[in-house]
Homo-oligomer: A and B are copies of this chain.
């Protein structure tokens, strides 16, 4: 957990570091170098932590089967923050993983009040079409809706026999006000994570779940539950990786429900211009001061967009960082360049969405 001088920050934020110590998450760190062809998220330590990832690495190296499990909750528009997971899936798919992709429509229903019909529509239009357009081959994924998977829902009841209320309260802090659906939901989530290891889905094998650190409680529960049912199902405790979330454009949290904080994958050019123009940066109060003293890229959410998405080439990113720190480029210029790059990306993405649409709809029906 040492800060290095480089084009991206390798310091793990304090609150993450505390959680890692508390719950025994290991640093992803140099594991990235052991990976074949690590992607920019791995190289740049955006994926900063893991549990048991060696198991997956071992499978990749020896050419054994392994799975990646993730879910999407249809509850708003998909933005660049969500792209992070898709980029990982695309990478894993290219490296031989079997991808399990769960549409968490029951969760959207239980926690956000969407009808299952609305959740389906949203899942297709806002998520799956984007996933495919971002390069994930959905036809080769094990894609399913929670509300239609007998295997997952029935496994949830099996697993739920060995998880009691005290335990759920300790993990999730449930109170008397918590609804029955909310209380049971973690078991569905655990069943999602473990079901790829059922015989009918390929049997026990290393599985990795890429998540934000806020999802760790589900992972801890899934690992505990896996060991409780080891004899019955032969489950291997699932591995996980933890990525930093992309900050919102205004400096706080990125959120679908606050549109100015996020670039949506279907944003029109005007929206992109406006949002980037208003974005929080690491600039100085005046242009003059910035030319003289340089900006602070580690504070800047625009720079973060380049680190996470817009500048996959490390040398190019380093140049941008140096130009910022030296005052060679100031915020207005950098923002204009960023807007251009985003516009090109979104225009191409729009075309790819068009190509993806029919295929995705066929896949669901």
Q: Are B187 and A165 in contact (CB under 8 A)?
A: no
Cα of A164 to Cα of B175 in the assembled complex, Å: 9
Interface of chain A residues 159 through 184 with chain B (CB within 8 A): 160-166, 168-169, 174-184
Which residues does chain B contribute within 8 Å of A184, judged by CB atoms? 157, 160, 180-181, 183-184, 187
Q: Are A178 and B164 in contact (CB under 8 A)?
A: yes
Main secondary structure of the interface of A (DSSP, over half): helix
Interface of chain A residues 312 through 340 with chain B (CB within 8 A): none
Chain B residue at minimum C-beta to C-beta distance from A109: B157
Would you call A54 an interface residue if the criterion is a C-beta within 8 Å of the partner chain's C-beta atoms? no
Cα of A110 to Cα of B161 in the assembled complex, Å: 6
* Most chain B beta carbons < 10 A, residue from A154, A157, A183: A157
Q: Are B181 and A106 in contact (CB under 8 A)?
A: no
The stretch from A72-80, A125-133, A145-153, A274-282 touching chain B is: A145-153
Interface residues on A, range: 35 or more
Would you call A158 an interface residue if the criterion is a C-beta within 8 Å of the partner chain's C-beta atoms? yes
Cα of A66 to Cα of B174 in the assembled complex, Å: 40
Which residues does chain B contribute within 8 Å of A165, judged by CB atoms? 165, 174-180, 183
Which residues does chain B contribute within 8 Å of A178, judged by CB atoms? 164-165
A187 to chain B, nearest CB (A): 5
A200 to chain B, nearest CB (A): 12
A166 to chain B, nearest CB (A): 3
Which residues does chain B contribute within 8 Å of A183, judged by CB atoms? 165, 180, 183-184
Would you call A113 an interface residue if the criterion is a C-beta within 8 Å of the partner chain's C-beta atoms? yes
Cα of A163 to Cα of B176 in the assembled complex, Å: 10
A319 to chain B, nearest CB (A): 52
Which residues does chain B contribute within 8 Å of A150, judged by CB atoms? 147-148
